[in-house]
Amino acid sequence: MTLTPVIMAGGTGSRLWPLSRELKPKQFLPLTEGDGSMLQTTVQRLQGLGPLGDLRVICNEAHRFLAAEQLRALGQGRAHILLEPVGRNTAPAIALAALHALAQTPDALLLVLAADHWIPDVTAFEAAVAAARPLAEAGKLVTFGVVPTRAETGYGYLEQGAALPPGGFAVSRFVEKPDLATAQRYLESGRFYWNSGMFLFRADRYLDELQRFQPAMVAACRAALDAARPDLDFVRIDRAAFEACPSDSVDYAVMEKTADAAMVALDAGWSDVGSWSALWDVSPQDANGNAVRGDALLQNARGTFVLAESRLVAAVGVQDLVVVETKDAVLVVHKDRVQEVKQVVERLKAAGRTEHINHREVYRPWGVYDSIDNGLRYQVKRITVKPGAKLSVQLHHHRAEHWIVVSGTAKVTNGDQTLLITENQSTYIPVGQVHALENPGVIPLELIEVQSGSYLGEDDIVRLEDRYGRSTPA
């Protein structure tokens, strides 16, 4: 059978705000050691598993270009990126992947992974997949139970049942997140494992079981995929059909109901890196239990995590704190209260603010811009355009723009004119003027954009032509 990886790359990771935000959540960030994002690290973890079928990544519309760019950087430009038009939880997402895989590979054996898990012992991960494979090929729906290292109340649990040769067990039951006393009993019993949310099963067996328990879900997913359309690197799932799909997790929809649920133990240092305290747990620490990312100076501090993104952070005489500095927000929270960060995000939403949506740096398929200053009727951005990339042909109803090239060469469409602008040269785009910006060179184009006008929102963009298929400011 063909081992076919499926990576679930949805979610917003709000408990890791202000680093993780709606338009660039944790799966697209380099949270752990190394330069790659969590998604890229997950893809690289597949390399030792032998011959693989085509990779499938499931993400939402807002993250499509991030996913495509990060996959291309790994040489995975041919991966199938399935775009969920709306969130319907994990059971439908896996159903879409199973249906899509079966259309190409009738013997597809799906290895379903989350894009944002930390698994430092890759050898142990590979061994667990190898142990699970004969069970999955025989028709079992295998999940990976993480060997617990502490009484954890933030994870669901699996109870080990009868042995299933060659190296697994039946799942006796699934247990919701327990209280501390119950979690301690689970740990001491040796029969309970953390529920990792990773799976290995035949695509056809998963769909058979889903059809048995949730036929409406299968029907909706089939209709949504039948009406899907290709778009650049993406498979756009039909919105109307998918909106009609019931929403449920794979555990509730299938795994807790099927008689063929199996488990293989995974002892690989796994973490879902779901909070700042979890990231502190998996980060290198000094003799005082401090973990530092970026430019930070700690004096008489203990058990403290500091992440400094853009400037020096100094902490003196503190204990068990998390301090996260980004270009537009600073978080200070006790490690025992990190779960409350999600409530801060909810308050930002309720207040109509945007710090939970965008970073100050915003990534686009053509490059990135950084809003370095703004005030009444003006905004200043630093724009970087990748070699060969082009912004859309567009106009604005409420703002004019000045472009000053810092480095590289800009090919500018300004009304009826097309001109090349190089370092220290500039151009002016009046309100309502049709314009476009392109980098025809082989090095990044850096420029400063000064906007002025009565309204400076990103929704004041009228796209007339776009090579990335965008009709909105995304």
Residue 436, domain member (yes or no)? yes
Residue 355, domain member (yes or no)? no
Residues 317, 429: one domain? no
pLDDT of residue 11: 85
Residues 13, 157: one domain? yes
- Residues 79, 57, 225, 132, CA torsion sign: positive
How many independent structural domains does the chain possess? 3
Residue 281, domain member (yes or no)? no
For residues 403 and 409, is the Cβ–Cβ distance under 8 A? no
Instruction: Judge whether residue 34 has pLDDT over 80.
Output: no
- Tens of pLDDT, residues 244-265: 999 999 999 999 999 999 999 9
Residue 69, domain member (yes or no)? yes
3-state secondary structure of 302: strand
- The structure tokens listed for 164 are 């299933």
Residues 327, 185: one domain? no
Please, which pLDDT band fits residue 74 given cuts at 50, 70 and 90?
very high
- Tens of pLDDT, residues 331-356: 999 999 999 999 999 999 999 999 99
Please, which pLDDT band fits residue 32 given cuts at 50, 70 and 90?
confident
How many Å apart are CA 383 and CA 246, to the nearest integer? 42
Residue 312, domain member (yes or no)? yes
Residues 243, 371: one domain? no
Residues 237, 371: one domain? no
Section 116-120 average pLDDT: 95
% of the chain with per-residue pLDDT over 70: 99
Question: Does residue 472 or residue 442 have the better pLDDT?
Answer: 442
Structural domain span for residue 200: 2-266
Instruction: Judge whether residue 474 has pLDDT over 70.
Output: no
Q: Name the most confidently modeled range: 30-34, 55-59, 466-470.
A: 55-59
pLDDT of residue 469: 81
Residue 334, domain member (yes or no)? yes
Residues 227, 344: one domain? no
Cross-strand pairs, 382: 370, 448
Section 107-115 average pLDDT: 97
Residues 176, 299: one domain? no
In eight-state DSSP terms, residue 255 is I
- Tens of pLDDT, residues 170-201: 999 999 999 999 999 999 999 999 999 999 99
The H-or-E segment that residue 243 falls in is helix 239-243
Section 192-212 average pLDDT: 97
User: Of 266, 300, 329, at which residue does a domain stop?
Assistant: 266
Residues 438, 402: one domain? yes
Residues 330, 410: one domain? no
Residue 394, domain member (yes or no)? yes
Instruction: Judge whether residue 473 has pLDDT over 60.
Output: no
For residues 54 and 80, is the Cβ–Cβ distance under 8 A? yes
Neighbours of 454 (CB within 10 A): 10
How many Å apart are CA 97 and CA 89, to the nearest integer? 13
- Residues 58, 63, 65, 67, CA torsion sign: negative
Residues 122, 97: one domain? yes
For residues 315 and 299, is the Cβ–Cβ distance under 8 A? yes
**CATH value at residue 67:** 3.90.550.10
**CATH value at residue 440:** 2.60.120.10
Residues 148, 170: one domain? yes
pLDDT of residue 78: 87
Residues 295, 378: one domain? no
Please, which pLDDT band fits residue 218 given cuts at 50, 70 and 90?
very high
User: Of 318, 350, 382, at which residue does a domain stop?
Assistant: 350
Residue 470, domain member (yes or no)? no
